[in-house]
Amino acid sequence: MCGLSGILYKRAGSEGSFHVGNDLVMMLEPMTHRGKDSSGVTIMGEQIDGDLVIRIWTENVQDIPSVAARSEETVRHAGGVIRSTSTLDQFLRLVVNYQGEVADLADALIKIPGVAIHSIGTTSEVIKDIGTPAMMDVKHGVGEILGTHGIGHVRMATESRVDVNHAHPFWAYPFPDITVVHNGQLTNYHKLKRMYEDQGHHFQTGNDSEIIAVYLAGKLAEGQGLKQALRSSLDDLDGTFTYLVATKDGLGYAKDQWSAKPLVTMETDDVIAIASEEISLRGVFAEEIERIEPQNSEVMTWLL
């Protein structure tokens, strides 16, 4: 059992940034009973002082200084320029100027021993950690981060490992600004993973949710729109699933044909919020607003 949340400010395109980080934390906290193993968010629409923001995790905290140095060296060797570097425990955050292919940079960085790349984005980053949303917020300052939209997750592990790398959201390596949170289980995960690996894709975990992110990124790269990609997933993904996806300019959800995993939405002219439970939405909407429960085989998108 896991909990999902998502929010998009429709006026963000014309009116700038909103307190998306704080909103996501407030939405996740009432769902802590749905999962205390880990928590995470993607915040989209950040104002980044560079071309890319890169978030890296390293296996051993004592290796952070050397990992930071090697990461900076890797970026420079790829033709990039370091704008800023910050570390927190096992986490490294780089803001860089880089005009090359993101896939080339990601493939170079992932060769550094003991690291995982949690995200590379032009206006977005994934922040995730072990523990509850409140713990994540205190440690990482998520509530202070402004953006335009985002998604969040609390996890109770059922199939894969309990560690920070198996926490959600999952970034669609190596595509920038595409992440997914998921509640459910894919029964054709291993088949899809073998297919993508044969095509040269790199996976960082054994979590089936990572497949969804890469699947959607591939469909978008082929020229499909976000809603079309979500509809395609209903045919190509097997199992029980409800998932949210955040892209650079949009937010969407998809529910499988059985609709076993809950989802509720509330929407006004200014904002759309989505969560596994209605109680999570009450922190966003003080007034009484109609709640909608998406049904089986349903997809929906909102674009900035």
Structure tokens at 128: 């995730």
Residues in CB range of 229: below 8 A, 6 or more apart: 216, 219, 220
With helix as H, strand as E and coil as C, how does 142-180 read?
HHHCCECEEEEEEECCCCCCCCHHHCCCEECCCCCCEEE
177 sits in the region (left: phi over 0; alpha: psi -120 to 50; else beta) called left
With helix as H, strand as E and coil as C, how does 83-137 read?
EEEEEECCEEEEEEECCCCHHHHHHHHCCCCCEEEEEEECCEEEEEEECCHHHHH
Three-state secondary structure call for residue 207:
coil
Whether 52 is catalytic is no
In whole angstroms, what is the distance from residue 160 CA to residue 123 CA?
29
From 1, 2, 245, 284, active-site residue: 2
CA 224 vs. chain centroid, Å, equals 20
Q: Select from 185, 152, 208 the least CA-distant residue to 1.
A: 185
Dihedral of alpha carbons 30, 31, 33, 39, sign: negative
Q: What is the CA radius of gyration of the chain?
A: 18
In whole angstroms, what is the distance from residue 60 CA to residue 235 CA?
41
The residues assigned a catalytic role are 2
